[in-house]
Structure 1
């Protein structure tokens, strides 16, 4: 049966992927909310969806739909990170399940509060952790499981250049986004924990507004990581080719090739949820704890086992 959806954060970067996923899984978007009204993308998916720029009117509309027999089954949440907790709570109070973008919340104890609301309302909270559904990542997890006594050496490098707008937006405010490690890295940290097991040690070497780097020790991996939105830190071959993004995961001397297959992972995530799967609060806990701990640590500088890209960072 087709399910009814509402969407919070319709003007955001990731919202079109959710609209596409709702449509491709054969469901309906009845209502959408965003304080920004630049949401023409809705026309490509659900031109008949009602749209609101004020939460109060959206809230009233969702309640009216329920009372008129058109209850919202799922609320998809693509709002700024710091609002996720409140919008998930709204979804469950509206007697709907929540499908929330990462990071699910900014602090680990928020998960405890959401678990209580799940139990009270009898509804589920799902987090989009789409790298777990990527075939190359799933294959890697199988390979790691097949080598129970091996500890892998991993380098994670992700640079995605951002302009001056980034620091004006909520993404540049650490209180709202959680900072760079949370904003662009949380799904990678989730993937690392899912593949390599429990996190045992964390060291931060660099942590600034535009770059962060550190060392993580999992049960089955030693990981050096580097994340940045600063185009100055891109490899020279990327710069000369005019590329603005660089993504690499090496395991030992092998590069993990996972650049393909990203575009449809939200649809795969939705199908998984609708089929009775999905990733819930307990699945999200370790990556939320990881990025929270990174924010709390004092960087130690270039000491110990640090990522090679750290050497290019300006002091």
Structure 2
């Protein structure tokens, strides 16, 4: 049984980490968040210590390291995007391996700094890139591999609209200085998936870059991808509005990839892989970090690359 600390306990994704820790047979020793709305802990790990001040959390974690029985093995990071690097660094310096939500960090420079810190501490960082474990994605990857060399690349449309209310703009997620923008915040794991399936990125163009929506074109070794991402419910297809708040679609050569289900266990699978000595580290995360960094820094240019059908509307 491994001992875990969790940073960012009141966030949306934190309960999935808490459940994954418990359901893989491990122990959540201590959790931290500046907010105290963490009642979910009672139904998962009620004996866990909890702190709302980082200094007290870090001091407690250091004290746990003094005894082999209580020493922490892992720190799980579920905090806002802009403080991932600081919290990952804190976990490594505690002498723990770190499991962090996506996006791991905003830039390649940050990634390089973490690689150096891994070398200094002898500990490792693992990124939650859960789509790499999804059955439909694994089958598609195998299909692309088995297709061998083609005269033309796969034509892919990626559309993801996940409606957010007015609270979103007031939260850290609505602040591009903290979330790094909608393409990074809700798109980074899709860009990782595209690299996982279709190979290295060769070209990128941005067609839309707004607070609530982004769109563009990506060309990979084996695919040409038109992408559209949004948190604005007004962008939902007409046949979806009023019925669902989320629309997720990937088409490959005009054929829809069905992957609307199968998400609930992906964090558990990710944890099992990490605990077995596998998982996805800084090397695997590098490509999607490079991709979102390029997207954020690129000028909007609708004259380059194919435009997504939603953007044409």
TM-score, scaled relative to structure 2: 0.98
Question: Following the alignment from structure 2 to structure 1, what is the Cα–Cα distance between the partners of residues 180 and 149?
Answer: 35
Residue 302 of structure 1 deviates from its aligned partner by 6.3
What per-residue deviation string (whole Å, max 9, x for no partner) do you get for residues 131-189 of structure 1?
Answer: 00011101111111112213210000000001111111111111111100000000000
2:45 partner SS: coil
C-alpha contact (below 8 Å) 1:127/1:280 kept by paired residues: yes
1:146 partner SS: helix
Q: Which moved more, 1:5-14 or 1:115-124?
A: 115-124
- Is the counterpart of residue 187 in structure 1 residue 186 in structure 2? no
| Pick aligned residue for 1:153 from 152, 155, 158 | 155
Task: Give the total of aligned pairs.
Answer: 310
- Is the counterpart of residue 218 in structure 1 residue 220 in structure 2? yes
C-alpha contact (below 8 Å) 2:205/2:305 kept by paired residues: no
Structure 1's consecutive aligned runs of 4 or more residues displaced over 4 angstroms after TM superposition are none
Gap regions ≥5 residues in structure 1: none
2:40 partner SS: helix
Residue 108 of structure 1 deviates from its aligned partner by 1.0
C-alpha contact (below 8 Å) 1:82/1:175 kept by paired residues: yes
1:190 partner SS: helix
Output the aligned Cα RMSD: 0.9
Q: How does 1:250-261 map to 2 (within 5 A)?
A: 250-261=251-262
Residue 304 of structure 1 deviates from its aligned partner by 4.2
Question: Following the alignment from structure 1 to structure 2, what is the Cα–Cα distance between the partners of residues 163 and 216?
Answer: 29
Partner of 1:236: 238
Question: Following the alignment from structure 1 to structure 2, what is the Cα–Cα distance between the partners of residues 53 and 301?
Answer: 46
C-alpha contact (below 8 Å) 2:205/2:304 kept by paired residues: no
TM-score, scaled relative to structure 1: 0.97
Partner of 2:95: 95
C-alpha contact (below 8 Å) 1:126/1:281 kept by paired residues: yes
